[in-house]
């Protein structure tokens, strides 16, 4: 019973490198989300996908892009990583936008 | 006024104590509420959903006060394993067409 699976769990990048964080859910949820969490800042929404085929910006989208590949998968891409993007990234899914969200166990990303 | 506000704590209580956290919200149209717990360096996990006046699950009770626009979480007979950050989450509107709003969390430390 996997729930929400994120890969990788840890990553170190150099400034300017690019990478894609992967997320997949097996709960047949319609909505998926990407958050970042920094000390003292709480969870901040980067992008979300209300349903397959749609994506929308959250409160901190700059420097990121997303792809809702299909109903199960929602990826987050950093095109040119910056030290300010060092954070813990969480993917989540829910049956709908107003419904409780279920989280993956996070990706710890460090950018040097 | 922030959309969702929580006392950051930390709350330090002895084992067996009863502890309560409050969470205030600004949108009077908010219809549903959630409490999550987050352990250090882990993902948030759903603890309880609140759709009407309150909810109870074992040692945990959530109460909703719509007139004063706050929800509370009461933990009875605290255990060491209850030490975590508790996140208050609000669905700011009826239905599934709005994103959840997350509080910054209240930190609880249960001491032996």
* % of chain B with per-residue pLDDT over 70: 96
Q: Indicate yes or no: CB of B45 within 8 angstroms of CB of A101.
A: no
Q: Does B44 touch chain A (CB under 8 A)?
A: yes
* pLDDT score of A110: 96
pLDDT digits (tens, 9 = 90+) for A57-77: 999 999 999 999 999 999 999
Q: Does B33 touch chain A (CB under 8 A)?
A: no
Q: Indicate yes or no: CB of A90 within 8 angstroms of CB of B44.
A: yes
* Confidence label for B97 from pLDDT (cuts 50, 70 and 90): low
> CA nearest B30 in A: which residue?
A98
Q: Note every long-range contact of A91-94, with CB atoms under 8 Å and residues 24 or more positions apart, other chains counting.
A: A91/A4, A91/A6, A91/A21, A91/A23, A91/A25, A91/A32, A91/A33, A91/A34, A91/A35, A92/A4, A92/A32, A92/A33, A92/A35, A93/A4, A93/A25, A93/A27, A93/A29, A93/A31, A93/A32, A93/A33, A94/A29, A94/A30, A94/A31, A94/A33
Chain A residue numbers touching B105 (CB-CB < 8 A): 42
Give chain A's mean pLDDT.
95
**At residue A95, does pLDDT exceed 70?**
yes
Q: Indicate yes or no: CB of A98 within 8 angstroms of CB of B44.
A: no
**At residue B94, does pLDDT exceed 60?**
no
Q: Indicate yes or no: CB of B42 within 8 angstroms of CB of A106.
A: yes
Q: Indicate yes or no: CB of B100 within 8 angstroms of CB of A58.
A: no
| Residue range A21-48: mean pLDDT, rounded | 95
* Confidence label for A2 from pLDDT (cuts 50, 70 and 90): confident
* Confidence label for A97 from pLDDT (cuts 50, 70 and 90): confident
* Confidence label for B51 from pLDDT (cuts 50, 70 and 90): confident
**At residue B1, does pLDDT exceed 90?**
no
* pLDDT score of B2: 79
């Amino acid at each position: 019973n996997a729930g929400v699976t994120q890969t990788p769990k840890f990553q170190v990048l150099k400034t300017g490198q690019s990478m894609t964080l992967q997320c997949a859910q097996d709960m047949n949820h319609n909505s998926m989300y990407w958050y970042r969490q920094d000390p003292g800042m709480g969870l901040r929404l980067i992008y979300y996908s209300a349903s397959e085929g749609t994506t929308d910006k959250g409160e901190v989208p700059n420097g990121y892009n997303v792809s809702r590949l299909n109903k199960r998968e929602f990826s987050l891409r950093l095109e040119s990583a910056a030290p300010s993007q060092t954070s813990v990234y969480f993917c989540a899914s829910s049956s709908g936008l107003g419904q409780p969200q279920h989280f993956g166990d996070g990706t710890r990303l460090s950018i040097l | 006024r922030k959309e969702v506000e929580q006392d950051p704590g930390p709350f330090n209580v002895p084992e067996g104590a009863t502890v309560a956290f409050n969470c205030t919200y600004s949108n009077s149209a908010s219809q549903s509420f959630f409490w999550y717990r987050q352990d250090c360096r882990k993902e948030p996990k759903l603890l309880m959903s609140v759709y009407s006046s309150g909810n109870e699950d074992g040692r945990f009770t959530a109460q909703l006060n719509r007139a004063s626009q706050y929800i509370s979480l009461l933990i009875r007979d605290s255990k060491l394993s209850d030490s975590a950050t508790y996140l208050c989450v609000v669905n700011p509107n009826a239905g599934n067409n709005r994103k959840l709003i997350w509080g910054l969390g209240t930190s609880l430390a249960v001491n032996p």
